[in-house]
Structure 1
Amino acid sequence: MSAGAAVRTLHIAIDHPSAVQSAADQARSAARGMPGALPDQAAVLASELASNIVKHARNGAVFVQRSPLGDGLDVVAVDSGPGMPDVARSLVDGYSTTKTIGAGLGAARRIATDFVIRSEAGFGTLVHARLAAPDTPRVAGAPGALCLPADGEDESGDGYAVAEHDGARTVLMIDGLGHGPEAATAAQRAERTFLANPAAPLADILTALHKALRHTRGAAVAALRTTGGQAEFCGIGNVRAVTLSSQGIHRQLTGHAGIVGYNLPRPRSRFVELSEHTTVVLYTDGIDHRWTYAPTDARLTLPPVLLAASLAHTHRRRRDDATILALGPHLGMR
């Protein structure tokens, strides 16, 4: 079994040239403890991606965090710029539209262990660069997740946890009531309780969380389990789940009324059929649900890591903690 709890995300708004150095510094700090030159390489990655936003785009951001599953570092850049007319050419060393040496994206791709880019006119550019030691196992179908505190808070009252077991993947998402340290305490206790027995029936997981959170503020909680061509959803409170594909939004699910740790109705599961092209997105109310009204074709076809970053960048409510997690097709369906 592999498992991981929420990794809090660093958000660097790229709204001024000075933000490039901030992105580099924060990436190096997040990579502290990784072997060899990886912390310095993380700083270069973040610097190159941030510089690209400053030169070519607007309304950009860089997200930095340790990978949700596996031992690595994720650096994700997103902007609302004009997009790239020729992505392949932009990755060639020496190509530049700003009369610079043109090494940015090409250098980032060389440094990164994994590198994914999507760009489209009118939509902007998104880049995911993952950095890991050479002997680090790759996580097949890794989820994309971001966990961001409300503006002015040092820690998030949201949380999540992911576990893979017996051919299934189970995800827990928590939104501690309010925000700040007390909400964070509830979220972290829920993560630990879940990870002690993530293979239990989902209703039993919520019942165990209810007992564990009795002396906290309580939380809205959703548990999701994907197995082959099916997803099971069991939730209490305002944590939402959406299934989508390139054809559009298919299903939207919200938890039943209640508060885990305070007032728990009988947990009931709902089931959704998944195709091999389905993505599942879970998110707390720090992400505005109106993103589901008319998502563009460009957004619907993003891989999980870029989809999560795109939604957090454009639909985050900054006065609240915000967490989003996207799962691609389940491992057993590949």
Structure 2
Amino acid sequence: MPLNALTTAHVRIDHYSAVHLAAEAARSLGKRCGLPGALPDQAAVVASELASNINKHATNGALYLQPLPLGGGLEILAADRGPGMPELERCLRDGYTTVGTLGAGLGAVSRIATNFTVRTEVGTGTLACARITLPDQPDQAYQNAALVCLSADREHHCGDAGTIVPTGDAHTAIVIDGLGHGAEAAEAAQIALRSFHSAAERPLPDILAALHRALRHTRGAAVAMLRLYDAERAEYCGVGNVRAVALSPDGIHHRLTGQPGVVGWRMPTPRTHPIPLPAGSTAVLHTDGVDARWTLDASLFMLRLPPPLLIASMTHHYRCTRDDATALAFRPPKRHP
């Protein structure tokens, strides 16, 4: 399944009834991702347990459900602004409870998911990522990539798109923001995404030129791309207000915005910029539906999150709900001696 065949399903956990909605969203996504047998029902159990945990213990929580960035399954992200879990290890054991229930929640999630990652900060909240893969692709649960693509509130179409694909000795990521909102913005974004897939192996300026031709009869788009190499380096190329950020566990090291212009209308000659990306660093692309001030507020806790939880934190805490919002993060593999 192409990464952006579905936008992210966003389920606010503001009432117990949302637990059922989350379970149904996970079951439906599991079927559309091709999970066989009982796996869609198990995805529903994972979503139900994560949503129930938020409903019982936290505030301002949500689940984000989407296909895995590089294919092979799905992931369920959970984010809240609750009290955090001071005894995280105990919370992950079956039978542990603070509210008099059976205490199967997070322990059940850990058993069912191919990979389960959770981080918590007392007084701030908890972030979790449960990935469920196709039975013959368990390694896909450990990919160091993440993507959330959300439509604006009350919009039926998402004018953003994004993906990351293997290209030779590298991975190439793209984030697209179709101008405006609604169906016409979504059409531009999807045309650009299809054009990208057909040209992804080419140099980044050539890819932008191909997108520019493809978008001439649309309202156009802002586009940013990153090519990430195993050798701890990256190249950036972009036009319009899609931002690129490189961060390490110690801080933000690069902030880049695309050249002024619109892909499909008035596009300058594209330029590439090298970005050092040492092992342990994370590269991020995001549209203006995620407030760029997240880079000014990022705590050490946030900087040290793995890509799925970083994206969950960004979109949950810094998303502008009046706009489509897409954020993509990728951490290059460690170099082997």
* Residue identity in the other structure for 2:202: A
Q: Is the 8 A contact 1:159 1:191 kept in 2?
A: yes
Matched with 1:127 is 128
User: Could you tell me how far 1:110 is from its partner in structure 2?
Assistant: 0.5
Secondary structure of 2:96 counterpart: coil
Deviations 1:157-204 (A, max 9, x none): 000121112220111110000011111111111111111121100000
TM-score by length of 2: 0.96
Q: 2:212 aligns with which of 205, 210, 213?
A: 210
Corresponding residue for residue 101 of structure 1: 102
Paired residue for 1:170? 172
Aligned partner of 2:156: which letter? D
Give the C-alpha shift of residue 73 in structure 1. 1.2
Structure 1's unaligned 5+ residue stretches are: none
Deviation at 1:137, TM superposition (A): 4.8
State the partner residue of 1:8.
7
Residue by residue over 1:47-98, the C-alpha shift from the partner in whole angstroms, topping out at 9 and shown as x without a partner, is: 0000000111111000111212122011111111111111111011111011
Q: What's the CA shift for 1:302? A: 0.4
1:106-185 pair list within 5 angstroms = 106-139=107-140, 141-185=143-187
Return the offset for 1:31: 1.1
Q: CA RMSD in A?
A: 1.5
1:82 to 1:231, Cα distance in 2 relative to 1, 3 A: same
Rounded Cα–Cα distance in structure 1 between residues aligned with 2:3 and 2:76: 18
TM-score normalised by length of structure 1: 0.96
Residue 208 of structure 1 aligns to a residue in which SS?
helix
How many residues are paired up?
Answer: 333
CA displacement 1:257-313 (0-9 Å, x = unmatched): 000000010001111111111101100000000111121111001000010011100
SS in 2 for 1:262: coil
Letter in 1 for 2:137: T
Question: Helix, strand or coil: the match of 1:84?
Answer: coil
Whole-angstrom CA distance in 2 between matches of 1:204 and 1:323: 23
Note the C-alpha offset of 1:331.
5.7
2:309 corresponds in structure 1 to 306
CA distance in 2, matches of 1:324, 1:231: 17
> For residues 173 and 288 of structure 1, what CA distance do their matches in structure 2 show?
15
Deviation at 1:5, TM superposition (A): 4.2
Q: Among residues 266, 279, 285, which one is paired with 1:263 in the alignment?
A: 266
Aligned AA for 1:128? Answer: C
Alpha-carbon distance in structure 2 between the residues aligned to 1:93 and 1:270: 49
**Which of the residues 240, 254, 257 maps onto 1:254?**
257
Aligned-residue sequence identity (percent) comes to: 54
Is 1:75 the counterpart of 2:76? The answer is yes
Note the residue ranges of structure 2 that are not aligned, 5 or more in a row. Answer: none
Distance 1:261 1:165 in 2: 24
Letter in 1 for 2:179: L
CA distance in 2, matches of 1:141, 1:14: 27
Q: Report if aligned partners of 2:290, 2:318 keep a CA contact under 8 Å in 1.
A: yes
Tell whether the 8 Å contact from 1:70 to 1:137 is kept in structure 2 after alignment.
no
Task: Give the secondary-structure state (helix, strand or coil) at the position aligned to 2:53.
Answer: helix
Q: Quick check: 2:195–2:210 contact (8 Å CA) kept in 1?
A: yes
**Counterpart in the other structure of 2:30:** 31
Matches of 1:333 and 1:241 in 2, distance apart?
A: 26
Which amino acid is 1:309 matched to?
A: A
